[in-house]
């Protein structure tokens, strides 16, 4: 089928997903924009069968497609995708993450489709992962445009010899209205065992090493040692779940730490939170921070990736160095003890995120990238 020359741009968003996290939220926000006719596509591997993004897209009424995959470089998957691109007259294949970049690069070539990629962040946690991300960096040179979600990621791309002329920095954006409205939290508090007078310090994210949950728990021990009314809420799932539960026992935190698992009712999670923490050592621009800011929850975060661009120390939140347990404990404690400070930072954060990180602003920037790609002659 020939490419569409009239009507909305036809886009396939492709991801190899580990759950419903930041990159997936970006995809869903872009896919529901009325400026393009979008499909959300996912690579399905029996060893990591995460199709939450597909389920969520379906509930939103977005078109979806699943491609089976036996590994990171599966020729069968590449041919599946290229056939889909041709059959559905896809104008742009938009990949998110190194796995989808690798298969998407070849599928776009075979399907004669323009290729755009978003680099949300690289996670070089092992030698094998570094190898795949090195291949990703090489293949990204052939994309028509590469979107970096922070200036720091742009510099990482340039350092791998990706042409600066191809890179566009687009900050993540969220649906402000979804988070700014007040929510009833009575049922959720009861389910989680949180008392009305508790101050709730929340950390949201995949339970994986780079997210800094161990730093968070060490800080929790210090903060809770002299404060009986503080509870620490861990939202998310991942490979470190059992180890972190063992850490809670080792640190004698008892019922101070609540593992809530993966949650879909995130506006309610933020509504019951008094402080939000991000302790990551590797980040792009976390959606969870933007969501907390839109929910009027003050943030304590590590100076990582694009975070200092939104959390301005003692203005829109508080910053600490990654892995600095003592500094994290001090800053969390300062917010637990000072409700006025929490309100001041939360108000400024809400104003900042509303002005700079709306869903509409992000989608408009991506529309411009699509126009550049489709208007280009080669």
Shared domain check, 310 and 238: yes
Shared domain check, 308 and 190: yes
Shared domain check, 364 and 286: no
Q: What's the 3-state SS for the chain?
A: CCCCCCCCEEEEEEECCCCCCHHHHHHHHHHCCCCEEEEEEEEEECCECCCHHHHHHHHCCCEEEEEECCCCCCHHHHHHHHHHHHHCCCCEEEEECHHHHHHHHHHHHHHCCEEEEEECCCCCCCHHHHHHHHHHHHHHHHCCEEEECCHHHHHHHHHCCCCHHHEEECCCCECHHHHHCCCCCHHHHHHHCCCCCCEEEEEECCCCHHHCHHHHHHHHHHHHCCCCCEEEEEECCCCCHHHHHHHHHHCCCHHHEEEEECCCCHHHHHHHCCEEEECCCCCCCCHHHHHHHHCCCCEEEECCCCHHHCCCECCCEEEECCCCHHHHHHHHHHHHHCHHHHHHHHHHHHHHHHHHCEHHHHHHHHHHHHHHHHHCCC
- Residue 378's pLDDT is 59
Shared domain check, 368 and 278: no
Q: Tokens 């009325």 identify what position? A: 34
Question: 1 in a domain, yes or no?
Answer: no
Shared domain check, 339 and 369: no
CA 37 to chain centre: 23
Shared domain check, 363 and 352: no
CA-to-CA separations, 2 to 107, 108, 227, 252, 336, in angstroms, rounded: 16, 15, 66, 64, 60
Contact 272, 188 (CB under 8 A): yes
Number of neighbouring beta carbons within 10 Å of residue 109:
14
Question: Domain containing 38 — which CATH number?
Answer: 3.40.50.2000
Question: 145 in a domain, yes or no?
Answer: yes
How far apart CA 367 and CA 305 sit, in angstroms, is 24
CA-to-CA separations, 151 to 15, 22, 286, 317, 375, in angstroms, rounded: 22, 17, 14, 20, 25
- Residue 269's pLDDT is 97
Residue 115, domain extent: 9-173+358-375
Shared domain check, 166 and 237: no
Angle between helices 22-31 and 287-294 (to 10 degrees): 70
pLDDT tens, position by position, 196-226: 999 999 999 999 999 999 999 999 999 999 9
Question: 208 in a domain, yes or no?
Answer: yes
- Residue 126's pLDDT is 56
Question: 341 in a domain, yes or no?
Answer: yes
Chunk the chain into consecutive blocks of 10 residues (it has 378) and report each block's average pLDDT, rounded to whole numbers: 67 92 92 91 84 95 93 85 98 95 96 96 66 90 96 93 96 92 90 95 95 97 95 95 97 95 94 97 92 98 94 98 97 98 98 96 96 86
Question: 334 in a domain, yes or no?
Answer: yes
CA-to-CA separations, 144 to 81, 92, 108, in angstroms, rounded: 18, 10, 11
Shared domain check, 42 and 27: yes
- Residue 2's pLDDT is 47
Shared domain check, 217 and 157: no
Shared domain check, 207 and 331: yes
Q: Which of 1-4's residues contact partners 24+ apart within 8 Å by CB, and which partners?
A: 1/86, 1/87, 1/88, 1/89, 2/89, 3/89, 3/90, 3/91, 4/89, 4/91
Question: 125 in a domain, yes or no?
Answer: yes
Question: 2 in a domain, yes or no?
Answer: no
Exposure string of 183-212, with b = 16+ CB inside 10 Å and e = fewer, is eebeebbeebebeeebbbbbbbbbbbbbbb
Shared domain check, 313 and 194: yes
Token readout for 235 is 């939202």
CA-to-CA separations, 17 to 50, 64, 142, in angstroms, rounded: 6, 14, 23
Count of domains in the chain? 2
Residue in 112, 87, 116, 156 with CA at minimum distance from that of residue 14: 116
- Residue 35's pLDDT is 82
How far apart CA 156 and CA 186 sit, in angstroms, is 45
Question: 263 in a domain, yes or no?
Answer: yes
Shared domain check, 252 and 304: yes
């Amino acid at each position: 089928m020939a490419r569409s020359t009239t009507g909305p741009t036809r886009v396939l968003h492709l991801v190899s997903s580990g759950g419903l996290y930041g990159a997936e939220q970006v995809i869903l926000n872009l896919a529901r924009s009325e400026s393009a006719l979008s499909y959300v596509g996912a690579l399905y591997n029996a060893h990591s069968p995460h199709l939450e993004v597909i389920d969520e897209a379906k509930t939103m009424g977005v078109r979806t497609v699943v491609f089976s995959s036996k590994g990171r470089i599966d020729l069968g998957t590449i041919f599946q995708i290229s056939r889909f691109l041709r059959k559905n007259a896809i104008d742009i294949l938009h990949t998110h993450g190194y796995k989808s970049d690798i298969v998407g690069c070849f599928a776009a070539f075979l399907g004669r489709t323009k290729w755009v990629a978003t680099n949300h962040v690289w996670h070089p946690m092992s030698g094998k992962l570094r190898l795949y991300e090195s291949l990703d960096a090489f293949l990204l040179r052939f994309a028509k445009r590469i979107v970096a979600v922070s200036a720091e990621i742009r510099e990482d791309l340039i350092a791998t010899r990706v042409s600066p002329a191809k890179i566009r920095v687009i900050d993540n954006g969220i649906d402000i209205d979804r988070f700014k409205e007040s929510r009833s939290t009575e049922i959720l508090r009861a389910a989680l065992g949180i008392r009305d007078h508790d101050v709730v310090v929340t950390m949201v994210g995949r339970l994986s090493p780079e997210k800094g949950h161990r730093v968070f728990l060490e800080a929790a021990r210090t903060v809770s040692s002299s404060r009986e009314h503080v509870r620490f809420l861990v939202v998310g799932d991942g490979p470190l779940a059992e180890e972190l539960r063992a850490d809670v026992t080792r640190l004698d935190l008892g019922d101070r730490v609540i593992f809530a698992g993966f949650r879909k009712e995130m506006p309610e999670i933020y509504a019951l939170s008094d402080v939000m923490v991000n302790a990551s050592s590797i980040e792009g621009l976390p959606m969870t921070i933007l969501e907390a800011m839109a929910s009027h929850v003050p943030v304590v975060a590590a100076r990582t990736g694009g975070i200092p661009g939104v959390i301005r120390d003692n203005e829109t939140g508080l910053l600490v160095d990654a892995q600095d347990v003592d500094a994290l404990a001090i800053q969390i404690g300062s917010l637990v003890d000072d409700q006025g400070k929490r309100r001041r930072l939360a108000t400024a954060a809400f104003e900042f995120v509303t002005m700079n990180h709306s869903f509409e602003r992000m989608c408009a920037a991506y529309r411009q990238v699509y126009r550049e790609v489709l208007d280009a002659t080669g």
